[in-house]
Amino acid sequence: MKKSIPTSFEIWLKILVLIVVLNIVLFTGASLARMPPSPELSFLSGTWVFLDAAVAALLFGLLLKLHTFRTDTGKIWLSFFVGMSLSALGELAYTILETLGYEAYPSLADLFYLGSYIPLALGLVMAKNAIPIPLNRIWVYAYTGIFIVLSIGVLILLGPNLIIVEPLETITGLLYPLGDLLLFYLASFILLKLRSAEFAQTWILIMLGFLMYVVADLWYVWQDSVLQTYGTFGFEFVDGLYIIAYASFIFGAVTNFRLLLRIFGRTTNV
């Protein structure tokens, strides 16, 4: 791992945390204002979410640079960086296409969104294997069984509303909850393994980000496909959940940077 981190970087991290917290407060206030929808507000809302995702991807990329790809930890950050970058590109593509009035489904945005599940899931698998905390095998089987039952319930609840005449649209719609449930299982499994450890806070925040991302995604599917109420307001509350999820990723990365600063010290390189 490279052990040179500029002193000024910690100051920028503190500023970033303040900006992200303010971002959450402002978006929550905007969503509670219940403003009527408009192309301008839709574009602003989408851009808002995209910027949070882009910052999270950038921080994961910086952590990859510090650890380097040759290390096991570096491979985890690489997977998260690629996955978060694809998710950010999905947010950007969705915002642009929606602003232009492009309604084809699936679209380029779906390609980015669905593509993000693969590296994110791989990163979670590697993170799970990297935490040297054993779990009781019977307890693992019980948890997995309960999760499968709950997943079937979610698919039964959402499935009928995702089945469309066009096979490609149906497959695309079903892939979202399937991918979300996979991420939820892996992330929650890692949270169950975590105990007091040197980097536990980093992983807890990042795993909470994954869980919030999944909740936001399933909420969006429910609101858009079942209730068909998404887009009723200029700023939707569910988009605020995505912002909180990306913020949790950001906070986790910031925590990791600050811990690295304490371990390896600071330099005056800028």
Model confidence pLDDT, tens digit, residues 34-77? 888 888 888 888 898 999 999 999 999 988 988 877 888 889 99
255: pLDDT strictly greater than 80: yes
Task: Answer positive or negative: Cα dihedral of 115, 204, 57, 32.
Answer: positive
DSSP state of 267: B
Provide the domain limits for residue 218.
7-264
Instruction: Match 């294997």 to its residue by tokens.
Output: 129
In a domain, 2, yes or no: no
pLDDT at 269: 37
Is 160 contained in some domain? yes
Mean pLDDT of the chain: 83
Q: How confident is the model at residue 165 (pLDDT cuts 50, 70, 90)?
A: low
Half-sphere exposure of 181 (CA within 13 A, CB side): 18
Q: At a CB cut-off of 8 Å and minimum separation 6, what does 239 contact?
A: 27, 31, 45, 46, 48, 49, 216
88 assigned to some structural domain = yes
Instruction: Decide if 269 is inside a domain.
Output: no
CATH code of the domain covering residue 61? 1.20.1070
pTM, rounded to two decimals? 0.85
Domain count, the chain: 1
Judged against a pLDDT cut of 60, whether residue 120 lies above it is answered with: yes
In a domain, 270, yes or no: no
- Residue 176 domain-assigned (yes or no): yes
pLDDT in tens, 171-230: 888 888 888 888 988 888 888 777 545 557 888 889 889 989 988 988 888 888 777 788
Q: How confident is the model at residue 116 (pLDDT cuts 50, 70, 90)?
A: very high
1 lies in some domain: no
Neighbouring-strand partners of residue 267: 6
**Contact predicate 260/8, CB 8 Å:** no
